[in-house]
Amino acid sequence: MIFSKKCGYKALIFVAVYHSFQLHLPKINKMSLLSVGTVAYDKIETPFGQTDKIVGGAATYISLSASFFVDQSKIVSVIGDDFSTDFLAKMENKGINLEGLQIKEGEKSFFWSGKYHFDMNSRDTLVTDLNVLADFDPVLPESYQGSDFLMLGNLSPEVQMKVIDQLTERPKLVVLDTMNFWMDIALDMLHKVLEKVDVLTINDEEARQLSGEYSLVSAARKILSMGPKFLIIKKGEHGALLFNDDRMFFAPALPLEEVKDPTGAGDTFAGGFIGYLAKTGDISFDNFKRAIIVGSAMASFTCEEFGTERLMTLTNDEINDRINKFVELVNFKF
């Protein structure tokens, strides 16, 4: 079963024997996870169709994706009284603790509407109604203290900092997601938050903007000097790159027969990534690599249907099959 090939003076043994690989998915309470981000309504148009108002939001995707790996998941967010109570019940059924979700009477939930171009890699924002998000002041319930892992989904750096400041004990791992918008209007505060996190996830254009470097290798070096020890550059359909010190890891995105709607794919990735880390309780570079593969697998599901639809029907067997597809996709041996 094992191939050994000697070439020249040095030897490589590179072996991959897998009939089928299975993550042990029934949840293990290794680490508790706290996620911060939007819970919102989206209206999406892609070349493959369009939706009415459907549930979206960073914290929604993060917590749903992570729910396949952890059962101690809490969220901090804000909605209006227009938000679907049915959907909230579904989230609670998946073990997501909503104690830190503020519901503002007489106000409306954050609403975003966008239209994707034919290439699905770019989109135009049609509507952004901040609504409850305009003056969001996150409040951490006492029961949230002591969370092991913190996922700061895309929100203003000020809100992200307020959450960090309320924690009496620093989590074992803090992951930050942000976007070009905050680099444009709140760069100073973003830099302050960056000093307090372990992992930053941004896309390639944002990495270039934040660093002022075109080469992603050079960009990563600069960004890793701003605070985070790990940088994950998300390249959408082109995969994801992980940087840590001088180490680099690349995970592809799974080429899909059909991408219906990429909305939430980045947050689903983040949820799978930190969910897997929390489940295993291991924050070594090698486990980061596995977590990125898991996150990529989760993100590929979200793209297959509009909104959170696919995450709602997803099974553990499907996740295992998908991770095996990733192993097959990149596996080679010399």
Contact residues for a second copy (CB under 8 A)?
1-2, 7-25, 118-119, 214-218, 235, 238-239, 241, 247-252, 255-259, 286, 289-290, 293, 320, 323, 327-334
The smaller minimum CB distance to a second copy, of residues 20 and 168, is found at: 20
Whichever of 142 and 214 has its CB closer to a second copy, that residue is: 214
> Which helix or strand (DSSP H or E) is residue 50 part of?
strand 49-50
- Using the minimum distance from each CB to a second copy, give the nearer residue, 153 or 236: 236
Selection from 66, 132, 55, 59 nearest residue 98 by Cα: 59
Q: Write down the least CB distance from residue 9 to a second copy, Å.
A: 7
In angstroms, the CA 84 to CA 92 distance is 13
Q: How far is the CB of 145 from a second copy (least distance, A)?
A: 33
Shortest Cβ 103–a second copy spacing (Å):
39
Cα separation, 270 vs 36, whole angstroms:
12
CA dist., res. 313 & res. 328, Å (int): 24
Who's near 284: CB < 8 A, 6+ residues apart?
none
Q: Which of 70, 82, 72 has the alpha carbon at shortest distance from 41?
A: 82
| Residue among 41 and 269 whose Cβ is closer to a second copy | 269
138: Cβ contacts below 8 Å, ≥ 6 apart: 36, 76, 77, 78, 100, 159, 162, 163, 166
Radius of gyration over alpha carbons of the chain, in Å? 20
Structure tokens at 77: 């967010």
Judged by beta carbon, residue 170 or residue 238, the one nearer a second copy is: 238
CB 35 within 8 A of CB 73: yes
CB of 223 to a second copy, least distance (A): 14
Considering the complex, what minimum distance in angstroms separates the CB of residue 269 from a second copy? 16
For a second copy, the closer CB: 18 or 195: 18
Cβ-based neighbours of 89, under 8 Å, separated by 6 or more: none
Tell me how far, at minimum, the Cβ of 45 lies from a second copy, in Å.
16
Decide whether 22 or 315 has the Cβ nearer to a second copy: 22
Q: What is the DSSP string of 232-247?
A: EEE-GGG-EEEEETTE
In degrees to the nearest 10, what's the CA dihedral of 245, 246, 247, 251? Answer: 100
Distance, in Å, from the CA atom of 129 to the CA atom of 59, rounded to the nearest integer, reads 17
Least Å distance between CB 282 and a second copy? 12
Q: Which is nearer to a second copy, 62 or 323 (CB)?
A: 323
Q: Smallest gap, in angstroms, from Cβ of residue 31 to a second copy?
A: 19
- Rounded to a whole number of angstroms, the minimum distance from the CB of residue 243 to a second copy is 9
Nearer to a second copy, 23 or 75 (CB): 23
The two structure tokens encoding residue 4? 């050994």
